[in-house]
């Protein structure tokens, strides 16, 4: 299999990204990895890292920066690593594209290059939350691509997330919920109420509303919300997780005496396990579900290890046949989500289509 | 000072609430505490707990249950502990009312009994987040009272939160921000953009947008958002916090061998400190800011210790003169938040006024 990696995307690009690509290529010598980016900047890192023969460099002269406005930057920079990388996927030269760049720009690039699966109104970013209780990990869509959503968008996010949870994560019958400010039907906004009404007619295992804490309860596998709320939820939980591990570390390292240091030493495997659960680097990037092709966004702060993991995730994503299942499920959803329902205009919709 | 406590509100009422009230009354013998609730249920708990003479029982025959629809229940149950308690404050018989009941019902009760500070469109629930980095604790408004908000509501939440942060938390010049899905001005929704435009004209130290993680960064003291997003953020951070402490505990207690158990023993003060930071029981309830009187909501799952802390918080709230400062600041805000701006209708507004 051949994967494409955006060498220029992310806070620590190209160094951390290229090093992560090399880690992956060494671990998976049976696959090909194409690094897309500015050759004058990428080649020295590749040489220093001692890239194996299954790593290839594909030059692209421009870079979409983290703070560029997404769609405009993509359109203007015709030789950006983002566009060139997605083009390789569109032309069938590669199976998937991975980037640690600005997720809005990556999504815009995927939309403009690959287009959408037939019937999909808005592709979504799917973020996987670590299980803090029980076994099941929870998938949240949309984690930030679509700020203003219609009820039909949320219903489609549910279809995409359920198909992903089944095919890629191996959940037999994922439970699907709408994120709200309380479990009672009387709670929520017009958007959550209308989306719930659509989902109650679906063939999904729709359990109604859940609250923020349920993302970690193991009681539900797919949670849908608009991209504004989803992004805030994602960043909040990152903030708490990093804050707590930071507090623990500083309590032990800085303020701790001999007993604390000995205690920390004895608890090292436990604390390391906890850190791994909380650390995004162990999680393998967020798929953009609904594109006509496979695109994965890695965290902007990705370390080489995180890039490696995102590439492994991508490999598994392609192998699992996620794309085919998404296409089938969106087509089937037309039975309970008729086109005239989909066209319904939501308040504040900005029509990014 | 005399405080009123809703003996019937909360998941563990009346027992945990009454016990918490007794804890407080013993610790603060110079103040009076009025417990409002069903005398046949409250008296036995009071007797068992050995209530000191500064605890008084005020009978109220009805209870607003956690799942009652807020406003309707309050209107129908004319002899509820909620209504009778707020009435004591309205009549000047007591300085403040504390309840661990349904926050929506408590807010509705406060609105219908006490009314609003002149000029306040929507009172808000203010939730205080623990500092996980740096020293400053961050206040979030609205944490759940107003699902649909207009820009002027968010601007007023900022005024109320800033005044509270100064007078009650002792922050000299609180930094104020709008919660959004990114720091750039191009991010956010119509609501966050319009609210930011209003706040840029204010005399507050407005720093623009912040992300979910910034609630714990120590970089900002007051963050405003609509009650839907605020409630989800609050529940998400509770979920992560409880999940992590649970993971640590189960790793040590259940799966741990002798080294882990010894390590946990040595680290006990550190872990206890961490738990205290995360534990809502140590935090003293959330004030309802903007009511014409002092109302404090304690967590529904409140332990006796949490009720005690909420009462201590309430005492400090009244002493600090928060109410007077809120009234002054809302009046002053008319200079940059003129009435015609306030009247602007937001999409999806349900007109709870």
Domain segments of chain A: what residues?
A: 1-115, 121-283+322-353
What are the tens digits of pLDDT across the range B297-347? 998 888 999 999 999 999 999 999 999 999 999 999 999 997 755 444 444
B16/A159 Cα distance (integer angstroms): 44
**Cα–Cα distances in angstroms (integers) from residue A147 to residues A192, A227, B61, in the given order:** 14, 5, 47
| CB atoms A181 and B215 under 8 Å | no
Rounded average pLDDT over B103-109: 91
What are the tens digits of pLDDT across the range B123-159? 999 999 877 776 778 999 999 999 999 999 999 999 9
Residue numbers of B between 114 and 173 with CB closer than 8 Å to A: 132-133, 144, 147-148
- CATH 3.40.50.1820 is right for the domain spanning A121-283+322-353: no
Angle at A166 between CA A162 and CA A172, to 5 degrees: 110
Of B147, B215, B267, the CB nearest to A263: B267
Give the distance from residue B182's alpha carbon to the nearest chain A alpha carbon, in angstroms.
Answer: 8
| pLDDT reading at A35 higher than 90 | yes
Question: For strand A286-289 and strand A294-297, is the pairing parallel, antiparallel, or unpaired?
Answer: antiparallel
| pLDDT reading at A315 higher than 90 | yes
The pLDDT value recorded for residue A352 is 40
What are the tens digits of pLDDT across the range A133-184? 767 789 999 999 999 999 999 999 999 999 999 999 999 999 999 999 999 8
| CB atoms B132 and A246 under 8 Å | yes
Which of residues A218 and B318 earns the better pLDDT score? B318
B206/A137 Cα distance (integer angstroms): 38
| CB atoms A266 and B277 under 8 Å | no
Residue numbers of A between 242 and 271 with CB closer than 8 Å to B: 242-244, 246-248, 251-252, 256, 259-260, 262-267, 269-270
Residue found under tokens 């529940």: B235
What's the mean per-residue pLDDT of chain B? 89
Neighboring chain B residues of A140 at a CB cutoff of 8 Å? none
| CB atoms A265 and B270 under 8 Å | no
- CATH 3.40.640.10 is right for the domain spanning A1-115: no
DSSP B116: B
DSSP states of B247-312: HHHHHHHTS--HHHHHHHHHTHHHHHHHHHHH-GGGS--EEEETBSSEEEEPPTT--HHHHHHHHH
Phi, psi of A297 (to 5 degrees): -100, 125
Tell me whether A276 touches chain B (CB under 8 Å).
Answer: no
DSSP strands (E only) in chain A? 2-6, 32-37, 55-59, 96-99, 124-125, 127-129, 138-141, 175-179, 205-210, 222-224, 286-289, 294-297
Q: Which of A130, A181, A255 best tests the B interface by mutation, with the highest count of B CBs <10 A?
A: A181
Of B158, B238, B165, B237, the residue nearest B192 (C-alpha):
B158
Tell me whether A70 touches chain B (CB under 8 Å).
Answer: no
| pLDDT reading at A61 higher than 80 | yes
Angle at B8 between CA B141 and CA B147, to 5 degrees: 25
Quick one: fold of B131-282+323-342?
Isopropylmalate Dehydrogenase (3.40.718)
Phi-psi domain of B37 (left: phi exceeds 0; alpha: psi -120 through 50; beta: other): left
What are the tens digits of pLDDT across the range B55-102? 999 999 999 887 777 778 778 888 999 999 999 999 999 999 999 998
Tell me whether B66 touches chain A (CB under 8 Å).
Answer: no
Neighboring chain B residues of A181 at a CB cutoff of 8 Å? 144, 147, 227-228, 231-232, 235
Least confident among A50-59, A170-179, A230-239, B260-269: B260-269
| pLDDT reading at B189 higher than 60 | yes
């Amino acid at each position: 299999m051949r994967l494409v990696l955006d060498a220029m995307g992310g806070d620590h690009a190209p160094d951390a990204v290229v090093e992560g690509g090399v880690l992956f290529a060494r671990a998976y010598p049976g696959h090909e990895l194409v690094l897309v980016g500015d050759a004058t900047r990428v080649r020295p890192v590749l040489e220093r890292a001692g890239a194996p023969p299954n790593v290839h460099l594909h030059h692209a002269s421009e870079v979409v920066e983290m703070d560029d406005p997404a769609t405009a930057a993509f359109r203007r920079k015709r030789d950006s690593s983002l566009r060139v990388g997605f083009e390789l996927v569109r032309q069938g030269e590669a199976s998937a594209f991975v980037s640690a760049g600005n997720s809005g720009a990556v999504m815009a690039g995927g939309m403009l290059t690959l287009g959408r699966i037939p019937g999909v109104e808005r592709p979504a970013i799917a973020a996987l939350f670590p299980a803090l209780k029980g076994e099941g990990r929870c998938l949240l869509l949309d984690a930030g691509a679509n700020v203003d959503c219609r009820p039909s968008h949320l219903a489609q996010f549910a279809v995409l997330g359920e198909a992903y949870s089944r095919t890629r994560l191996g959940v037999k019958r994922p439970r699907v919920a709408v994120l709200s400010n309380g479990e009672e039907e009387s709670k929520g906004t017009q958007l959550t109420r209308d989306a719930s009404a659509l989902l109650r007619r679906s063939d999904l295992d729709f359990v109604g509303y859940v609250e923020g804490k349920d993302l970690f309860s193991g009681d539900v596998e797919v949670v849908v919300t608009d991209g504004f709320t989803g992004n805030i939820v994602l960043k909040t939980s990152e903030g708490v997780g990093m804050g707590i591990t930071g507090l623990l570390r500083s309590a032990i390292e800085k303020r701790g005496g001999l007993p604390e240091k000995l205690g920390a030493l004895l608890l090292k495997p436990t604390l390391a396990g906890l850190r791994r659960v909380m650390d995004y680097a162990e999680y393998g990037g967020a798929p953009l579900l609904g594109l006509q092709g496979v695109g994965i966004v890695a965290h902007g702060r990705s370390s080489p290890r995180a890039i490696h993991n995102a590439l492994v995730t991508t490999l598994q994503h392609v192998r699992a046949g996620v794309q085919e299942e998404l296409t089938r499920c969106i087509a089937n959803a037309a039975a309970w989500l008729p086109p005239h329902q989909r066209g319904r205009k939501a308040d504040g919709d900005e029509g990014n289509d």
